[in-house]
Structure 1
């Protein structure tokens, strides 16, 4: 499909720079499969969902994956190199998007952090193992496993999306705001932002309403922010992200589907993982692998019945996904309504509740 079909005009003032407080006070646009749109708030979810629904959350945890460093052995005037880690390959190796990647060659050493000689003094060294396309570099770090995690936490910063980071400084509040309350599996470099709206109080009211919850893990990569540069969707290459669904969770979700319960995905990340793990027969299988699934109109959904998600960028793969879920014209009408009604967009913005057509 032509990528320009997914374009729309968004006033810059609609981009949220901070989340709503309390989180569940964010606005929620309900988009039913049929009938008029409905303006609500996230806190209304217990009455908008059915008592037998199953909410599926992504429990990934954002790491401070934004690193700044310099090549070693090139003199004091060596320019800074900006790195955003986006996928862990093994205990000591990460793929990353690099600002200034053209300066790097395989074998170069980059030092992140201060001027000390070891990680304990506030630095972290990495060797360029491989260079890919589009500014992607594979780094082999001097540390591995938990020691590498600690070093990244010491020298890294939370990688806020560029449409926020370009407008204000990242601060300590973002370390809390840009993390779901149920995050536990470290490895994401971007938050599953639909989950940012949930509070302990809202989770409690959902349980009281009889709504079940399940957790899966998809480590969201920085590729989620990359624009679609191709003119046609078939020419766009998705970056892979690591996902996990354990056997017990898969069995419970399959049982829920057999019982006729609706599967409600909290976020496009949970949806992409569920749809990656399901077979042609509609059975969800345990999953522990990378996925680069790219969902566009015409895709046949096998798992998810309802999707809660934030409002996405023009021409983005995520706007393509929601257009596949509800229909392109339905989503264009919903976004026109949201823009005219003052809804806040993107990671810290408001949400929508979409029923599959």
Structure 2
């Protein structure tokens, strides 16, 4: 399928550089298959859900995975994007031409790593020195890995340490936030509880590959980066029981959706899951595990815009995005939200 079919014009001023406050004051565009689009706010979410509906959140926690260091006189930037083991991470490297296998990189606060292996995509495996957990080293030497469309407009600051974490963040390992859940507040969770909406969590450690542009002209030629995720047996059983009872399972974010679909078998049953997924969802895909999606507004020609087009239809999503742009919705990680109910 041609990638340019998923293009659209997005004014630069629509890119949100900060979240709104309170978080649930963000706008939300509600869309089903063919009814009029509704402009509401995230705090109105409970009124679109029924008692027994299930919202599925990603409880991954963003780690300060961006590092600035030196190899000799050369400045080296590293963005960790996938854990390999306790001391080794795969990382995208800035100024990679100045780095070769076996080089030692010095980061701030006495943090050191060896460039152990160069991968075919230009990334490296970095092996961190010492006995402290890598996460401890990153808290000392790293900074929050804001998306390039925000980091290119302003520097990271102290606010981002809280702004770029969801209320559900628990399991260390993500280098990008599951941004659909950034909109949730304690007040909104109480309102959902009062409505009888059920909450479940899973873990998908979002990688920096989520921001990589699709460089191929055809979707068949694009390779997704793998990300690690887990759904435990009890959670899978409750989700299956909810659907059997006629309740909807609505993924909060494309990360939750992708893991649920990775875990679902050919009989539409969600199985326990622990491992990597590189699922790439494009129009023509048959959804097996979810009945709706809450998600932010994504980049033109991105894998995530392809995913929502698979869920709702490409023409429908072009109309949704056209209205969002016309109505001054804020796009991307710190932007506004949509509720998609196919």
Superposed, which structure 2 residues align to 1:214-225 within 5 Å? 214-225=200-211
Say how many residue pairs are matched.
342
Could you tell me whether the CA contact under 8 Å between 2:107 and 2:141 is conserved in 1? yes
Q: What is the CA-CA distance between 1:310 and the residue it aligns to?
A: 0.1
Q: 1:25-75, CA deviations, whole angstroms, 9 ceiling, x for partnerless residues?
A: 00000011221101010000111111121000000000000001111xx3x
Partner of 1:123: 110
Q: Give the distance between the partners of 1:169 and 1:148, measured in 2 at CA.
A: 24
Specify which of 138, 147, 156 is matched with residue 170 of structure 1: 156
CA distance in structure 2 between the partners assigned to 1:291 and 1:83 by the alignment? 23
The CA deviation at 1:134 is 3.1
The answer for the alignment partner of 1:93 in structure 2 is 88
Gaps of 5+ in 2: none
- Separation of aligned partners in 2, 1:227 and 1:126: 28
TM-score (norm 2): 0.98
Note the alpha carbon deviations across 1:287-346, whole angstroms, 9 max, x for none: 110100000000010011110000000010000000001000000000000001100000
- Structure 1 segment 43-82 matched on structure 2, within 5 A: 43-71=43-71, 74=72, 78-82=73-77
Aligned partner of residue 154 in structure 1, secondary structure: helix
1:134 equivalent in structure 2: 121
User: Following the alignment from structure 2 to structure 1, what is the Cα–Cα distance between the partners of residues 226 and 111?
Assistant: 25
TM-score (norm. length: structure 1): 0.94
Q: 2:39, 2:77 → 1: CA distance?
A: 41
1:124 and 1:251 map into 2 onto residues whose CA distance is 43
| CA distance in 2: counterparts of 1:201 and 1:277, whole angstroms | 31
Q: Contact 1:93 / 1:141 at 8 angstroms: preserved in 2?
A: yes
Query: Where does structure 1 differ by over 4 angstroms across 4 or more consecutive aligned residues?
Result: none
Residue 27 of structure 1 corresponds to which residue in structure 2? 27
Could you tell which deviates more after superposition, 126-135 or 192-201? 126-135
Find 2:186's aligned residue among 197, 200, 217: 200
Is 1:265–2:251 an aligned residue pair? yes
Q: Is the 8 A contact 2:231 2:272 kept in 1?
A: yes
Q: Match of 1:84?
A: 79
1:155-194 equivalences under 5 Å are 155-194=141-180
Please give the secondary structure, in 2, of the residue aligned with 1:80. strand
Is the 1:99–1:135 Cα contact (8 Å) retained in structure 2? no
Contact 2:200 / 2:235 at 8 angstroms: preserved in 1? yes
- Please state whether the residue corresponding to 2:192 is helix, strand or coil: helix
The CA distance in 1 between the partners of 2:41 and 2:276, in whole Å, is 34
Structure 1 residue 355 displacement after superposition: 1.0
Residue deviations 1:261-289 (CA, integer Å, cap 9, x gap): 10010000000000001110111111110
Shift of 1:135: 2.7
Determine helix, strand or coil for the equivalent of 1:191. Answer: coil
Contact 1:24 1:197 in 2 (8 A): yes
Once residues 222 and 39 of structure 2 are traced to their aligned partners in structure 1, the CA distance between those partners, rounded to angstroms, is 34
CA RMSD of aligned residues (A): 0.9
**Aligned-residue offset at 1:130:** 1.0
| 8 Å Cα contact 1:102-1:135 kept in structure 2 | no
User: Residue 84 of structure 2 aligns to a residue in which SS?
Assistant: strand
Aligned to 2:101: 106
Where do 1:300-311 residues align within 5 Å?
A: 300-311=286-297
